[in-house]
């Protein structure tokens, strides 16, 4: 009698099973080689090449020429449209028939003038199902169109995928034919794959892994690839294995389809629209076949694009949203950067996003969804809560270079004490493939074992789109409850977070910012984008305030609702997390800068219209102040003959006045000394400027306190070598600090440009290299507590980093940085790895280093990268990466920063107000000569800043005001207004009135109590 040998060699059994389903080895006799049955060529393929992305209607009317499979087309970013005629053989009745299409460009199949299927080889989608089981009454002859983009899922990088695109790349269709898919082979292959992966992932230490090994080996014994009648027995073995259930305590993986689509990155905005179409139409096809399949999808902007480009698809999406399968998440206009947008911009991301989702789908998102952003501001929890969101999902901190973040599920507490339930999927990915590896990782990596027993598994190709596949769904379906693996349930964000919330008693709390220890170069890369963002945020702030005040002064004034929404949406789009950080290709940079120009141009027109109403359309010169405090500043004016001059004006808060020149308490003096140094003085500051433009001394006159370190001049430009490990536009590494070289070569030494009692100007030029120079104007104004440095850099470097340093006479283990609606402290030492990892940090309009009763603030008008180490304050100015944009930052740059020594705390010294003043210039308006100075709003305490005034979204003639506490204190404030307010109510950030919270109105104004860094919105009914 013959006995089968007992095989004990794990490797041979495992490799035998792997080869049995390999698509490389033994395909003549293994199972994989039987996946497709008969094939049949297409009747005809014709093509037409377009340099533009055009509609189906336009494409279908073009003249198509015969095309041979294998012929190349291009170049990059063009589109090749194919007209495909096909005839399915009668003999394929009862069979599953596919159009097999393999191309290195992303493709969309169109049928009956509608998009029906996305195809991309990189996204493992290479076939369009023509029939699941061919019947006589189905069409056997068809004409389809296939739109092929001349780019892959990740653009067209030359060499590496993040390199600048190759502009001349050619593309081809490698396969285009009709095939019969053997569904029984496909199902059996999935069984084999899952069992093999269980063997590999559970390893030799787990008994369950060996059970999978012997099961899969026995399946190979039973299965004859050439005899389908042997398949059921093999499948039965697999089914028995998968059906052996877990215990009740096993971890649960909440599986959700996902398709992260960067709104622009290695491809332009316009290509993203097609990526959304290709990815989402494929999701709809999967939903038709899999009624339990749930797909999560963020970014209202992308829904808006699909609505206007693919209206039929959008209607289908609305249907599946109603069914609860297609779930809009996130609540924001785009997945924005988490560091650089202003507080008001972040509010508008949610306001625009939530309103869009509510209007189009009747829902408001309950979770913020930001899986791929380079750090998270500590004001986000409060902003989320104010927009009706109490849950947050991301995973990016798994990319930390230095420290491992200690949690996956926890409460995140923000700057003001607001808390949100936060989940980082422990698989450390937002684009899993439904594989055993993903499930094992999810359990193993969970850092909150014993505290949280549920995790998200987000599956689907991402970044460049693609999304889930049927194979991913089949994999997960096999192991819904299989001993040795976590339980898998089709889920939704709402189900996941409800479960986490109900089990949250033992969860830990993380307080403060979620700082990503990587990608710190994105605070500086693409300086023109950073500048465009800051300037446009400022402009829209001023337009809204001027328009709101114009509305109150003249009820016939039309508040520009539609135009402002359009401009805000452009600004919000550019805050996408690969655009404002500068980690995108040159085409995207060009688009972004074009959008900023549009905002500047249209915004200037809107401002002019509103200011015309404020000034009663006169022809004298007046000044408009959009900030909530009186400003005593020097402004540039023109006299009657059009000759430029200066005036010191006193402008009321959030209002205007005619130009009436006042005399400064002390005039500005500029004196050249015998040794060539220049002394500048204005009664507040005394500065000594060296011939090379550095600051030898900066003295605060009233306390006789020197700000600059002895022997170390301020305003010292320094260059660093800037070669990261890989992510060029993204990263600056700690070792760059070891390559510091001061910029020392003087082209033109410091000399006096002008000396006026109201303004002194000193200029100098330095050479960085034979390709790059710095020219700077140092400006001291009368009555101004800071010195400005107006800077022009001609920049043509490669992998260099330019910064400016101010070593100051202050000692403190912590420095303070402005963030959205507040500020936070970070260490100036490098004691621990957590401190060291913050060698380069982000901040907004100011950073401050103070000790008791004295400090120095560094202000800026468009920079975000900072560093304060020991007593040296550094502002990051320019980088020169070469990927993904080979011309990043090349050209001429203009920016301003300022140094402000102060006595007392930075709060008491009005550092916050001065930084606002630097960023929000007083605006010249035309007014009637006898116009009275007018102030619309003021606030009784400097701690509270009135940040925003706008017309309410849903109520004409009502205003929404946004205020925040800026000092970090409990304070009662009175908001005074000249406007006729009938009612005042508290509202949330989505402008929903709180009927339980009328604002307290007195004869003095509206009184409001603030806690530290609290944001409060008011609805004023006039």
Average pLDDT over residues 68-76: 98
Sign of CA dihedral 793, 798, 800, 801: positive
Q: Find, among 511, 406, 402, the residue nearest to 832 by Cα.
A: 402
Contacts of 281 (CB under 8 A, 6+ apart): 108, 115, 116, 117, 118, 310, 313
- Count of H helices and E strands in the chain? 18, 56
Distance between CA atoms of 991 and 350, rounded to whole angstroms? 11
Q: What is the number of residues in the chain?
A: 1022
The answer to whether residues 767 and 745 touch, using CB atoms and an 8 Å cutoff, is yes
Q: Tokens at residue 83, please?
A: 């007209």
Radius of gyration of the chain (CA): 32
Mean pLDDT, residues 45-63? 98
262, 372, 448, 861: the catalytic one is: 372
Q: Are 295 and 333 in contact (CB under 8 A)?
A: no
Task: Tell me which residue has tokens 């479960």.
Answer: 499
Mean pLDDT in residue range 314-342: 98
Average pLDDT over residues 306-320: 98
754-to-730, 778, 780 alpha-carbon distances in Å = 41, 11, 11
pLDDT band at 639 (very low <50, low <70, confident <90, very high): confident
HSE of 268, CA atoms in CB hemisphere, 13 A: 17
- pLDDT band of 616, cuts 50, 70, 90: confident
Please identify which residue in the block is written with the tokens 């422990």. Answer: 426
> Over 70: is that where the pLDDT of 117 sits?
yes
Rounded to 10°, the helix 207-222/10-20 angle is: 50
What confidence tier does 218 reach under pLDDT thresholds 50, 70, 90?
A: very high
Tell me the H-state helices in 732-853.
Answer: 833-836
DSSP β-ladder status, 44-50 and 695-700? unpaired
- pLDDT of amino acid 618: 82
Is the pLDDT at 241 greater than 70, yes or no?
A: yes
Cα 913 to Cα 653: distance, rounded to the nearest angstrom: 12
DSSP 845: S
C-alpha angle 249-254-256 in degrees, rounded to nearest 5: 170
CB–CB of 247/208 below 8 Å? no
User: For residues 111 and 139, is the Cβ–Cβ distance under 8 A?
Assistant: no
Q: Are 340 and 818 in contact (CB under 8 A)?
A: no
Over residues 511-557, the pLDDT tens digits come to: 999 999 999 999 999 999 999 999 999 999 999 999 999 999 999 99
pLDDT score for 638:
83
Q: How far apart are CA 866 and CA 858, in angstroms?
A: 10
List the beta bridge partners of residue 823: 818
* C-alpha atoms less than 13 angstroms from C-alpha of 818 in its C-beta half-sphere: 26
Unique residue bearing structure tokens 């190979």: 220
Beta pairing class for 326-328 and 295-297: parallel
Cα separations (Å) of 70 from 97, 149, 178, 461? 23, 16, 17, 26
Q: Is 262 a catalytic residue?
A: no
Q: Is the pLDDT of residue 1 over 70?
A: no
Per DSSP bridges, beta strands 367-369 and 391-393 are: parallel
Contact 534, 862 (CB under 8 A): yes
Phi/psi at 512 (5° precision): 100, -170
pLDDT-derived band at 2 (thresholds 50, 70, 90) equals low
Residue 172: per-residue pLDDT: 98
279-289 burial, b if ≥16 CB within 10 A, otherwise e? bbbbbbbbbee
Answer whether 42's CB lies under 8 Å from 84's CB: yes
Q: Which of 161, 153, 263 is nearest to 577 (CA)?
A: 263
Average pLDDT over residues 706-721: 98
Q: What confidence tier does 215 reach under pLDDT thresholds 50, 70, 90? A: very high
Rounded Cα distance, 460 and 293, in Å: 12
pLDDT, one tens digit per residue, over 440-485 is 999 999 999 999 999 999 999 999 999 999 999 999 999 999 999 9
Tell me, what's the pLDDT at 6?
67
Q: How far is CA 926 from the centre of its chain?
A: 39
pLDDT at position 661 is: 79
Residue 1007 in this model has a pLDDT that exceeds 70: yes
Q: Residue 5 above 80 pLDDT?
A: no
Tell me the pLDDT tens digit for each residue of 406-429: 999 999 999 999 999 999 999 999
Q: What is the pLDDT of residue 486?
A: 98
What values do phi and psi take at 710, rounded to 5? -65, 130
Confidence of residue 365 (pLDDT cuts 50, 70, 90): very high
Average pLDDT over residues 5-17: 87
pLDDT at position 3, please? 61
CA angle 324, 330, 332 (to 5 degrees): 125
Please give the sequence-ordered ranges of beta strands (E in DSSP) within 756-821, or none if there are none. 759-767, 773-781, 787-795, 800-807, 814-819
> What mean pLDDT is predicted for residues 577-587?
98
User: Chain-wide mean pLDDT for the chain?
Assistant: 97
| CA 112, chain centre distance (Å) | 37
In tens, the pLDDT along 77-97 reads 999 999 999 999 999 999 999
Share of the chain above pLDDT 90, in %: 97
* DSSP for 704-758, written as a single string: TEE-BPTTS-BSEEEEEE---SS-TTT---GGGGGG-EE--EEEEEEEEEEE-SS
C-alpha 731/C-alpha 300 separation (Å) is: 29
DSSP percent split of the chain into helix, strand, coil, nearest 5: 25, 35, 40
The pLDDT value recorded for residue 8 is 73
Strand partners, 107: 119, 148
Residue 593 vs residues 75, 133, 531, 590, 663: alpha-carbon distances, Å = 25, 52, 10, 5, 41
> Of the ranges 263-272, 631-640, 945-954, which one carries the lowest mean pLDDT score?
631-640
């Amino acid at each position: 009698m013959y006995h089968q040998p007992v095989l004990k060699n794990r490797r041979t059994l495992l490799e035998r099973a792997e080869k049995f389903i390999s698509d490389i080895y033994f395909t003549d006799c293994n199972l994989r080689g039987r996946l497709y049955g008969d094939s049949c060529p297409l009747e005809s393929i014709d093509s037409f090449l377009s340099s533009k992305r055009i509609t189906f209607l336009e494409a279908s009317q073009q003249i198509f020429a015969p095309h041979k499979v294998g012929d190349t087309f291009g170049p990059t970013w063009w589109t090749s449209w194919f007209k495909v005629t096909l005839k399915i053989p009668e003999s394929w009745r009862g069979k599953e028939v596919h159009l097999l299409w393999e191309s290195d460009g992303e493709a969309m199949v169109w049928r009956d003038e509608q998009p029906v299927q996305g195809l991309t080889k990189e996204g493992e989608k290479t076939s369009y199902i023509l029939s699941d089981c061919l019947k006589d009454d189905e069409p056997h002859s068809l004409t389809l169109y296939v739109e092929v983009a001349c780019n892959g899922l990740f653009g067209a990088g030359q060499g590496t995928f993040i390199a600048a695109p190759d502009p001349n790349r050619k593309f081809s269709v490698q396969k285009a034919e009709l095939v019969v898919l053997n569904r029984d082979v496909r199902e059996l292959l999935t069984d084999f794959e899952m069992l093999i992966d269980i063997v590999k992932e559970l390893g030799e230490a787990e008994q369950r892994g060996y059970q999978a090994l012997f099961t899969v080996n026995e399946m190979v014994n039973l299965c004859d690839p050439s005899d389908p009648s042997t398949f059921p027995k093999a499948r039965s073995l697999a089914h028995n294995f998968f059906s052996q259930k877990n215990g009740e305590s096993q971890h649960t993986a909440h599986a959700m389809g996902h398709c992260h689509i960067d709104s622009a990155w290695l491809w332009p905005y316009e290509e993203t629209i097609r990526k959304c179409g290709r990815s989402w139409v494929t999701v709809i096809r999967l939903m038709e076949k899999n009624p339990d399949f749930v797909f999560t999808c963020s970014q209202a902007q992308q829904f808006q694009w699909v609505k206007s480009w693919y209206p039929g698809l959008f209607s289908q999406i609305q249907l599946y949203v109603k069914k609860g399968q297609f779930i809009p998440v996130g609540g924001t206009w785009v997945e924005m950067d988490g560091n650089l947008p202003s507080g008001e911009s972040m509010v508008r991301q949610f306001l625009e996003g939530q309103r869009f989702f509510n209007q189009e789908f009747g829902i408001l998102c309950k979770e913020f969804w930001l899986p791929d952003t380079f750090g998270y501001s500590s004001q986000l929890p409060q902003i989320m809560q104010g927009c009706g969101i109490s849950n947050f999902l991301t995973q990016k901190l798994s990319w930390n270079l230095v420290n491992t973040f200690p949690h996956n599920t926890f409460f995140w507490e923000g700057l003001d004490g607001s808390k949100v339930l936060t989940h980082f999927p422990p698989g450390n990915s937002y684009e899993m493939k439904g594989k055993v590896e993903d499930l094992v990782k999810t359990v193993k990596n969970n850092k909150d074992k014993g505290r949280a027993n549920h995790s998200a598994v987000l599956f689907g190709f991402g970044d460049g789109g693609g999304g889930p596949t049927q194979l991913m769904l089949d994999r997960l379906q096999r192991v819904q409850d299989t001993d040795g693996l976590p339980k898998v349930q089709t889920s939704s964000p709402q189900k996941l977070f409800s479960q986490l919330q109900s089990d949250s008693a033992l969860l830990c709390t993380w307080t403060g910012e979620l700082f990503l220890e990587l990608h710190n170069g994105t605070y500086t890369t693409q300086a023109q984008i950073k500048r465009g963002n800051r300037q446009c945020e400022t402009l829209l702030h001023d337009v809204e305030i001027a328009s709101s005040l114009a509305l109150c002064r003249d009820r016939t004034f039309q508040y520009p609702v539609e135009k402002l929404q359009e401009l805000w949406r452009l600004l919000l789009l550019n805050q996408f997390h690969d655009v404002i950080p500068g980690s995108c290709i040159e085409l995207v940079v060009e688009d972004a800068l074009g959008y900023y120009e549009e905002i500047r141009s249209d915004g200037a027109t809107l401002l002019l219209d509103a200011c015309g109403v404020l000034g009663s359309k006169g022809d004298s010169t007046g000044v408009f102040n959009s900030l909530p405090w009186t400003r005593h500043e020097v402004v540039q004016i023109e006299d009657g003959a059009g000759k430029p001059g200066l005036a010191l004006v006193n402008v009321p808060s959030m209002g205007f006045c005619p130009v009436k020149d006042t005399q400064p308490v002390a005039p500005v003096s500029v004196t050249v000394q015998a040794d060539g140094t220049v002394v500048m003085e204005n009664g507040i500051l005394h500065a000594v400027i060296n011939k090379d433009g550095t600051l030898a001394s900066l003295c605060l006159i009233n306390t006789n306190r020197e700000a600059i370190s002895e022997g170390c001049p301020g305003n010292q430009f320094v260059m660093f070598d800037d070669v990261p490990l890989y992510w060029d536009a993204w990263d600056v590494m700690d070792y760059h600090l070891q390559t510091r070289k001061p910029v020392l070569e003087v082209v033109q030494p410091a000399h006096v440009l002008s000396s006026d009692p109201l303004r002194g100007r000193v200029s100098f030029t330095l050479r960085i290299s034979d390709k790059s120079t710095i020219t700077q104007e140092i400006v001291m104004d009368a009555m101004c507590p800071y010195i400005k440095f107006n800077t022009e850099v001609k920049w043509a470097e490669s992998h260099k980093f330019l910064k400016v340093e101010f070593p100051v006479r202050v000692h403190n283990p912590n420095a303070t940085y402005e963030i959205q609606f507040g500020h936070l402290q970070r260490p100036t030492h490098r004691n621990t790895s957590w401190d060291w990892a913050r060698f380069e940090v982000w901040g907004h309009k100011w950073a401050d280093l103070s000790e008791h009763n004295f400090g120095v603030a560094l202000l800026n008008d468009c920079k975000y990268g900072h560093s304060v180490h020991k007593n040296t304050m550094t502002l990051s100015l320019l980088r020169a990466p070469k990927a993904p944009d080979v011309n990043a930052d090349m050209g001429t740059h203009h920016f301003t920063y300022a140094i402000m020594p102060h006595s007392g705390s930075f709060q008491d010294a009005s550092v916050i107000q001065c930084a606002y003043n630097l960023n929000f210039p007083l605006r010249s308006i035309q007014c009637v000569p006898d116009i009275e100075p007018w102030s619309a709003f003021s606030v009784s305490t400097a701690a509270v800043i009135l940040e925003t005034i706008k017309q309410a979204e849903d109520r004409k003639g009502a205003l929404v005001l946004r205020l925040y506490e800026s000092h970090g204190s409990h304070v009662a404030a009175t908001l005074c207004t000249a406007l006729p307010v009938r009612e005042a109510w508290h509202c949330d950030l989505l402008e929903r009135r709180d009927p339980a919270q009328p604002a307290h109105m007195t004869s003095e104004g509206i009184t409001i109590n603030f806690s530290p860094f609290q944001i409060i919105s008011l609805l004023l009914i006039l």
